Structure 1
Amino acid sequence: MLDFTWKVFSQTGNIDTYLLFKELEKDDQEIPGYQEEELAGIDFPIS
């Protein structure tokens, strides 16, 4: 999805497409950390 939005932005120069790209990029970077914390909680449950 990131590649597609970047390609559309680079071809059109549409600022809304760029902002969508940055939002998707931000969301993509946040997910792995969340999953690691969630998995750590499963391995070591807080009592």
Structure 2
Amino acid sequence: MLELTWKFFVQTGSIDTYLLFKELEKDNPVMPSYPDDEMTEINFPII
């Protein structure tokens, strides 16, 4: 259910869907890996 809600949010940008996702996330602390999260983990060197 969490993955489906996330995919719907990504496609629609619906704030209500995001808030639902966050509520579901509280109930399920194990978060599946999403491809979009990979970009947040990249460390860019500061020049």
TM-score (norm 1): 0.59
Moved >6 Å (runs of 4+): none
TM-score (norm 2): 0.59
Aligned counterpart, 2:23:
23
**Please, which runs of 5 or more residues in structure 1 have no aligned partner?**
30-47
Q: Per-residue displacement from partner, 1:8-43 (whole Å, max 9, x unpaired)?
A: 0000000000000000000112xxxxxxxxxxxxxx
**Please, which runs of 5 or more residues in structure 2 have no aligned partner?**
30-47
Higher share in helix: 1
